[in-house]
Each structure stands twice: as C-alpha cells, then as structure tokens.
Amino acid sequence: TSNINLAVVAGDGIGIEVVEQGLAVLEAALKGTDATVSQTAFNLGAQRWHATGETLTDADLDAIRGHDAILLGAIGDPTVPSGVLERGLLLKLRFALDHYVNLRPAKLFAGVRSPLAEPGEIDFVVVREGTEGPYVGNGGSIRTGTPHEVANEVSVNTAFGVERVVRDAFARAAARQRKHLTLVHKHNVLVHAGHLWRRTVEAVNAEFPDVTTDYLHVDAATIFLTTNPSRFDVIVTDNLFGDILTDQAAAITGGIGLAASANINPDRTAPSMFEPVHGSAPDIAGQGKADPTATVLSVAMLLDHLGYAAESAKVTAAVAADLVERGTRVRSTAEIGTDLAQRVAE
C-alpha cells in the first residue's frame, strides 16, 4: 500500500466547510485502491493570528514541507488587517515552497450556465506565474500619509523565473489537442518585463515546434475572454495578470464556486498546494451555503499530481454528472459533498 501524507490548511471562513467535503471525496476516490490518506491539520489563519500573532512560523513551514501535498481552503478574515494573512501565510507558502506554476483550468461544464449569451465551448487553462511579478513585496512608501507620499510596488521578473514557467506552459500546450499558447502581458507599456516574456516565449517555442503561439495585451485579453473565450487553449502570464484573468475565467464558466487551482512545484523539491480560487467568504461562512465543488475539483488536481490519474478522472466525472443534474436545485455544502462522494464511490 502507499500512503498520501496530506497537510490540511482549512484556514478561514468557508475554507473549513469546503475542505471537510473535499476530504470526504478524496477518501471516497481512494476506496478500493491500495492507497490510504493520513492528514495533518495545521491551525493557520485568523484564529491563530489573534491568539498568537503568528501567521506561518518556520516550524510550521518545516512541518508542512514533510508532506506529499497540501489541501488549502481559504485564507482571510475582516478582523485581520488586509495583507497580513495574504502575505504572511498564503503567499509565503507559495513563495517558500516554490510554487512557480499556478495552474487554473477554466472549463464550462455541461449543464452550467455561463453569464455570456453565447459562450460556445470554453476549455482552457491559465498558467499563472506564482513566485515573481508584483507579488514579491519588493516595494515601499516614503512620506507615508502625507500629500507627498510616494508608494512603489516593484514587479520582479527574472530570466530564470520566466523561462521555467514558460517552458511548463509550452509542455502543457504540447500535450493538449489544440497545442496553442497565448502569452498575455502589456509589453507596449511594461517594456522591460514585457519584452523579457515575449523573447522567452519566442526562444522556448523552438523546443516545441508543434505548438502555435500568439500574444495579447492584457486589456485585449479581457475583451476576448468575454466575446470569444473558445479561442483560448493555454494562457501563460505573470502573477498579477493571472490573478485578474482567472477571476474573469471563473465568472464566464459558471462562477467562483466551481473554479479549482493548483500551486505546483514541478521540480518536486517541496509539496504542491491545491486550493479553490475563491476566498473565505465571511458573509456566508458557517451557513452551509458554500459550494464545495471548487475544492473537490482541486482534489482531482491533487490526485492527478500524485499519480492517481484514474481516481482523479473519477472525481472530475462525478462533478460533471452532478453539474448536469444540478439545475436550479439548492443544496447545502454537506449535501453536495455527500452526493459527490457517493458518485465517486459508485
């Protein structure tokens, strides 16, 4: 038998309830295989910060490193100053564990209503860079709070960092049917970073001659995501553009309740982390209203990453079947989770 040694960071708000259902589906998917799951729950998030002032200590990080993968719910709470948990916990995990591929699939499942009148077929994946860009926290302000304040956020783009994520995106495109890669940036304004990305895509393309490429400025990309999302296959882009585009991608494919993501360390020098794209939604937390589907689809990505392709496919198929039959029926978080676990076990 093999054991999946899983670190669980449920976090804040609805993170707690959706992770509970995600874990139930994970157990159901592995039933009848020789694999087992052992879990370590990490108390991280708002409660821990209020109690101790800590976000993520070196000891937490060391303990997490010893696991095969991380399942994360959501981080953030209105009682904690904006940025403290985001930077001190979520981004610290992504950076420290070198999650340079932030993988965010966007698929319009059958039975799901898009807000677009004629969405067509939507099935693309965003490869969002995860360890650089404006997210590095390389900034500062002077004369803070005065009329003469100057506040800078520096976007860091290294040849090393851009090349490794671009190569990963090409490999993903090469493995897909349409084999098409779109670089999204803003090289008409952000000329230094933009041209580094453009040159890198051109250079790495030589290694993947059967992949076609094109380029969109990020503002134009938002237009096409609305008017012709079928044109996209794989999008590669920087950390901040990827953050924004993947919320739009979630919206056109039925909403943030269905959007899964994987923070991948492709070199496997540290555990990868799987989390719904949505946040902690404190306004509905604890009411059983949250849709656990995004977390369940993140569990499917986790299974796939760890080599359980068949079990991953079972989870995705269960979600697909559930979405076809869902209609306008309203079920609680636990009801949806139980239904999905049941389908997976069938």
Catalytic residues: 135, 186, 219, 243, 247
Best CA proximity match to 228, nearest among 167, 182, 291:
182
Using CB positions, name the residue nearest to ligand IPM. 86
Binding of ligand IPM by 123 (CB under 6 A): no
Tokens of 275: 């989390």
Between CA 237 and CA 231 the distance in angstroms is 16
Query: Is 267 annotated as contributing to ligand binding?
Result: no
Query: Is 243 annotated as contributing to ligand binding?
Result: yes
Between CA 261 and CA 95 the distance in angstroms is 16
Query: Is 134 annotated as contributing to ligand binding?
Result: no
Between CA 300 and CA 294 the distance in angstroms is 10
Q: φ, ψ for residue 119 (rounded to 5)?
A: -70, -30
Q: Least distance in Å: CB of 244 to Mn ion?
A: 8
Between 37 and 256, whose beta carbon lies closer to ligand IPM?
Answer: 256
29: how many CB neighbours lie within 10 A of its CB? 28
Q: What is the CA angle 239-240-242, rounded to 5?
A: 70
Across the chain, how many H-helices and E-strands are there?
12, 12
For the chain, the distance separating the N- and C-terminal CA atoms, rounded to the nearest angstrom, is 22
Coil, helix or strand at residue 345: helix
Binding of ligand IPM by 243 (CB under 6 A): yes
Q: Least distance in Å: CB of 121 to ligand IPM?
A: 25
Between CA 80 and CA 321 the distance in angstroms is 39
Beta strand pairing call for 260-264 and 101-107 = antiparallel
Total count of residues recorded for the chain: 346
- Provide the residue type at 237 as one letter: T
Interface with Mn ion (CB under 5 A), residue from 68, 77, 243, 304: 243
What residue 123 binds from Mn ion, ligand IPM, none (CB within 5 to 8 A, per partner kind)? none
Size of the site for ligand IPM (CB under 6 A): 6
Residue range at the interface with Mn ion (CB under 5 A); choices 100-108, 145-153, 216-224, 236-244: 236-244
DSSP letter assigned to residue 107: E
Query: Is 238 annotated as contributing to ligand binding?
Result: no
* Interaction mask 40-69, ligand IPM, x per CB under 6 A: ------------------------------
* Span 80-99, contacts to ligand IPM by CB under 6 A: 86, 90-91
Q: Least distance in Å: CB of 137 to Mn ion?
A: 16
Residue range at the interface with Mn ion (CB under 5 A); choices 58-66, 145-153, 238-246, 292-300: 238-246
- Site for Mn ion, rule CB under 5 A: 243
Residue ranges of the annotated binding site for substrate are 94, 104, 128, 219
Residues that bind ligand IPM (CB under 6 A): 76, 86, 90-91, 243, 277
Residues of each annotated binding site for NAD(+): 279-291
The binding site for Mg(2+) comprises: 219, 243, 247
